[in-house]
Structure 1
Amino acid sequence: MENIIEIDGIQVSGDHFIGGKRVSSTERFPNHSPIDGHLIGYVAAGLPEHCNAAIEAAQAAFPAWAALGPDKRREHLHRFADELKAWGEKLARVECEDNGMLYARLKGHQIERCAHNISFFADEALKLKEHRIEGRNAKHHVRFDPAGVCVLITPWNSPMMLTTWKLGPALAAGNTVVIKPPEWAPLTCSMLADVAAAAGMPPGVINVVQGIGATTGAALVADPRVARVSFTGSVPTAKTIAKSTGQNLVPASFELGGKSAFIVLEDADLDRAAQTAALQYRNAGQVCLAGTRILVHSKVADDFVARMQKVVAGLRVGDPRDASTEIGPIIHPRQFDKVAGFVDRARDRGARIVWGGAKHEAGDLYYQPTLISDVDQGDEVVQSEIFGPVLVLQRFDSDDEAASMANGTRYGLAGVVFGSEGRALRVAEQLRTGMVWVNSFFLRDLEAPFGGVRDSGIGREGGQWSFEFFCDMKDVMLPQKPYAPVFAGR
């Protein structure tokens, strides 16, 4: 009998989805809501036989899906995107309960973005067949051929959106996939398979195997039949995956953590900068792109902090199902303890807690928006990703010092610079990151490359960069003039 979990009257399967069917497991793991800690239900744990069956199903579906070509696949994927919008209310309610993200944000933004992730790449794939190069000796037709079975591993902080962000280009390129959802928030990733089935997606094109990363995830990425692995998550897990994929020479893409700098120059619009800095607490600080190190010019630091404090004081922490809530819970007790531990150790070492620094009265997994100052560049709160509603304040006296401080961690995902445009652009050019926002934050276009440097990842997602990863590229050449074979020296 299928394992059905009910959330607000919405029935969600807790089983795997393999070859177009729900598949149960003799082993399950508990899934709790971060809103109040209640047990949502038990989710199937992927065993070796489930991983094997999912890869076999994806392999069996691959030839026909790849042979459809980008035009026919586009039709399927647009139906998928339309169906996703139709399921929007259900998906938003389930993800809110499962993950703790604000329901208002899910309904008002995330669902539309998820559908766009699918439809955009379906359209973008049509451009691939037009890639030609007129060389001096040959006419080159560069083919983007489907690679095969792709394993997609997504994180718990935005599971549905980040799954579609990988799923769109993987499917549009002609691949079939096995999704491994995050164990702390697996349900909407699994529901995407039902959405695709309702849209008429062929069986085996999308498969979902739920489970723990160390077992289920490890089995999937180590399988030599897998052609690509796309992972978003932590640096230690990426290193483990890299060892497995390296054994089989399987290309892997890693979008990892960040410790991005939010730089406020002396001539910045302080009100706009302070309001934007407060946005770094969004999703309870569980955002890899967030500018968690607030670097402010010494001459304006006190003024900036006072303005930011007024904004933060007005933020409402509470139940993410409430439309007036602006900051929800931390996902899991283990993550909550990690966040609180960073703050407690910083306090013990003499750092100043400017505001926050303790559990919020809203519930067990809610933490006060926090700002820590009086820290050194080598302190762990400056160097390590906290992934909670905790920011660190540092001061600088010159633009070069700001850039040096910003570059002074092992991460390099993103950055934010507020100041006069020319000056801010000069600082942005010095930052060793994959992305920099100038006088703005979180503006994204799917055509643009997304990814980091150093410990923030390997590879880029978005636009053609996604297809370069999910495809095997082939150069088919025709001579520019009549061809005559000639041996060397003749």
Structure 2
Amino acid sequence: MAEVAGVTVDTGHWIGGERVGSAAAFTDLSPIDEQPLAEVARGGPVEVDAAVAAASRAFPAWARTSREDRARALHAIADGVDEHVEELARVETADNGALIRSHRRGVMPRVAHNFRFFADWLLRLGHDDFETRGHRNHVDWDPAGVCALITPWNAPLMLATWKVAPALAAGNTVVLKPAEWSPLTASLLAGIAAEAGLPDGVLNVVQGTGAEAGAALVAHPDVRRISFTGSVPTARSISAAAAPNLTPLSLELGGKSPLLVFADADLDLAVDLAVEQYDNAGQVCLAATRLLVDASIAEEFTERFLDRAGRLVQGDPREEGTDIGPQIHRRHFERVDGFVRRALGDGARALLGGGPNTDLGGLYYRPTLVAEAPEGSEILTEEVFGPVLTLQTFETEEQAVAMANGTRFGLAATLATGDPERAARVTGRLAAGTVWVNCFFVRDLRAPFGGSRQSGVGREGGDWSFDFYCDVKNTVMAPWEK
């Protein structure tokens, strides 16, 4: 047990409806001050085997549970989340350093929405029967089995429930492995689900490192689906581990997304969109970190951007007035700083920030804008995942599209333009799973979500989630004799 931000958090695993300890533990640090929050049970193959076995035992009954009863169970979990928004917000802010105001107003209510959406979508899921030479075709979505869900640290509970909710709605059982840098709200979710009456073994949580718990989970022969959000190198390792079992994968990976600002754009809107990319201290996979600006307006855009970004308040994320908090962990902080130092060493120039916030110390990195980076350099092509944006200019639409597509990633893209014909033309040529035009981060769970190129494999959301978490079956019936 640990007391975190005034909330009691059980730091054991949740397996088969019980709290389970481990012989080993790991220390969970708060990014706010790098002080210990909790000693967390450190799972490995033994705990993974137990969790998969519990999920396997629970699967037949849960799979046979009617859609209506599964939907009611998910709504009950959502009710529990709504009742505990404040506690969840405080714990998650302490654990991953994101803004308390965002957790209270947006993130935790969205967690509840994730469960409600997939509960309701389940009840409308279906496909009209169709005939083939007098034979009737009928499509079913059969639960697949035990799902291994591995989630990142940057939005721990929201991203976990993007996976947990559809997997449970589909009739599967789950083993959730949260990131070791932010594991605490997954433990709270297990308690909320139990209070809501979710049967034992349907949701299990195993904490630990990727090398120990994660590796054992994705290689387990009794796992029928793997959904992972994280880095490309880890995805490669997961794919290799899953290959002998032919376990289907859904992978949402990194990004190096562009924000294209054309000369006909609303400049105030474009600047607002650009500054918004510092959200969550830049620790957002979808962030449009490459600002590609028409050369004819670049000077005015930059001047307005620097004025607007310079007014951001960096500090303690527990304060309502803070705009930017810390990086998640010392190791990640040093990685972000390394990208910037190497870029500056290669001749780039920092127009804003460019290093740690020494006034605050710790893990606080100044919002940074890098210009004049050499073409093809890593700061322009590799994911930094911190509050670091780059500025480049283009002369033509053709050049803008080429620059936008000039990385191995293809997760998202954002456009600012006043010309709807240009918007249609450019979006059709961009390599991206999601494109926003004159907006950012509008996310509807009915829409497909995922990445192109090395930003991922597969799509989730709406029917796409059920297509992944189910074995889709077509039954063909000959006409019955009268």
Aligned residues: 480
Structure 2 unpaired stretches of 5+: none
Amino acid of the structure 2 residue aligned with 1:232: T
Indicate the residue corresponding to 1:188 in structure 2.
Answer: 185
Normalising by structure 2, we get a TM-score of: 0.98
* Structure 1 residue 9, shift from structure 2 partner: 2.1
Q: Deviations over 1:82-110 (max 9, x none)?
A: 01110111110000000001011001011
Indicate the residue corresponding to 1:471 in structure 2.
Answer: 470
Aligned counterparts, 1:425-444, within 5 A: 425-444=424-443
Aligned counterparts, 1:274-293, within 5 A: 274-293=271-290
* Structure 1 residue 269, shift from structure 2 partner: 0.6
Indicate the residue corresponding to 1:415 in structure 2.
Answer: 413
Does the CA contact (< 8 Å) of 2:15 and 2:54 recur in 1?
Answer: yes
Indicate the residue corresponding to 2:230 in structure 1.
Answer: 233
Amino acid of the structure 1 residue aligned with 2:48: C
Cα distance in structure 1, aligned partners of 2:134 and 2:351: 66
Cα distance in structure 1, aligned partners of 2:408 and 2:177: 28
Cα distance in structure 1, aligned partners of 2:387 and 2:351: 13
Indicate the residue corresponding to 2:353 in structure 1.
Answer: 356
Cα distance in structure 2, aligned partners of 1:141 and 1:469: 18
Amino acid of the structure 2 residue aligned with 1:147: A
Indicate the residue corresponding to 2:92 in structure 1.
Answer: 95
1:109 to 106, 109, 118: 106
Does the CA contact (< 8 Å) of 1:45 and 1:211 recur in 2?
Answer: yes
Structure 2 residue 139 is matched with structure 1 residue 139: no
1:259 to 219, 235, 256: 256
Q: Deviations over 1:180-212 (max 9, x none)?
A: 010000000121100100111111000000000
Amino acid of the structure 2 residue aligned with 1:94: V
- The 3 A distance-change label for structure 1 pair 422 and 480 is farther
Structure 2 residue 121 is matched with structure 1 residue 124: yes
Does the CA contact (< 8 Å) of 2:28 and 2:181 recur in 1?
Answer: yes
Does the CA contact (< 8 Å) of 1:36 and 1:363 recur in 2?
Answer: no
Indicate the residue corresponding to 1:486 in structure 2.
Answer: none
Structure 2 residue 75 is matched with structure 1 residue 78: yes
Aligned counterparts, 1:15-34, within 5 A: 15-34=12-31
Cα distance in structure 2, aligned partners of 1:277 and 1:129: 40
Secondary structure class of the residue paired with 1:300: helix
* Structure 1 residue 138, shift from structure 2 partner: 2.4
Structure 2 residue 34 is matched with structure 1 residue 37: yes
Q: Deviations over 1:8-33 (max 9, x none)?
A: 22100111000011000110011100
* Structure 1 residue 48, shift from structure 2 partner: 1.6
Normalising by structure 1, we get a TM-score of: 0.96
2:366 to 353, 356, 368: 368
Cα distance in structure 2, aligned partners of 1:264 and 1:480: 59
Indicate the residue corresponding to 1:400 in structure 2.
Answer: 398
* Structure 1 residue 69, shift from structure 2 partner: 2.1
Indicate the residue corresponding to 1:455 in structure 2.
Answer: 454
Cα distance in structure 2, aligned partners of 1:184 and 1:202: 28
Indicate the residue corresponding to 1:201 in structure 2.
Answer: 198
Cα distance in structure 2, aligned partners of 1:206 and 1:106: 23
Secondary structure class of the residue paired with 1:35: coil
* Structure 1 residue 131, shift from structure 2 partner: 4.4
Cα distance in structure 1, aligned partners of 2:374 and 2:133: 57
Cα distance in structure 2, aligned partners of 1:458 and 1:68: 30
Cα distance in structure 1, aligned partners of 2:342 and 2:6: 43
Does the CA contact (< 8 Å) of 1:319 and 1:362 recur in 2?
Answer: no
Cα distance in structure 2, aligned partners of 1:385 and 1:434: 16
Does the CA contact (< 8 Å) of 1:377 and 1:405 recur in 2?
Answer: no
Secondary structure class of the residue paired with 2:347: coil
Secondary structure class of the residue paired with 2:373: coil
Aligned counterparts, 1:304-315, within 5 A: 304-315=301-312
Cα distance in structure 1, aligned partners of 2:78 and 2:333: 35
2:9 to 9, 12, 28: 12
Cα distance in structure 2, aligned partners of 1:126 and 1:221: 30
Cα distance in structure 2, aligned partners of 1:48 and 1:310: 52
* Structure 1 residue 71, shift from structure 2 partner: 1.0
1:53 to 42, 50, 53: 50
2:152 to 150, 155, 175: 155
Does the CA contact (< 8 Å) of 2:346 and 2:374 recur in 1?
Answer: no
- The 3 A distance-change label for structure 1 pair 345 and 477 is same
Secondary structure class of the residue paired with 1:294: strand
Does the CA contact (< 8 Å) of 1:137 and 1:481 recur in 2?
Answer: no
Does the CA contact (< 8 Å) of 2:291 and 2:391 recur in 1?
Answer: yes
Cα distance in structure 2, aligned partners of 1:233 and 1:206: 21
Cα distance in structure 2, aligned partners of 1:84 and 1:98: 18
Secondary structure class of the residue paired with 2:112: helix
Q: Deviations over 1:62-84 (max 9, x none)?
A: 11111012111011111111011
Does the CA contact (< 8 Å) of 2:261 and 2:293 recur in 1?
Answer: yes
Cα distance in structure 2, aligned partners of 1:226 and 1:292: 36
Does the CA contact (< 8 Å) of 2:415 and 2:437 recur in 1?
Answer: yes
Structure 1 unpaired stretches of 5+: 484-490
Amino acid of the structure 2 residue aligned with 1:440: C
Q: Deviations over 1:379-428 (max 9, x none)?
A: 00001000000001111001111000110100000000111222122111
Amino acid of the structure 2 residue aligned with 1:441: F
Cα distance in structure 1, aligned partners of 2:138 and 2:171: 18
Indicate the residue corresponding to 2:298 in structure 1.
Answer: 301
Does the CA contact (< 8 Å) of 1:139 and 1:477 recur in 2?
Answer: yes
Secondary structure class of the residue paired with 2:409: coil
Secondary structure class of the residue paired with 1:409: coil
CA RMSD, Structure 1 to Structure 2 (Å): 1.2
Amino acid of the structure 1 residue aligned with 2:23: T
Cα distance in structure 2, aligned partners of 1:461 and 1:104: 28
Indicate the residue corresponding to 1:487 in structure 2.
Answer: none
Indicate the residue corresponding to 1:246 in structure 2.
Answer: 243
* Structure 1 residue 480, shift from structure 2 partner: 5.6
Does the CA contact (< 8 Å) of 2:347 and 2:374 recur in 1?
Answer: no
Amino acid of the structure 1 residue aligned with 2:367: P
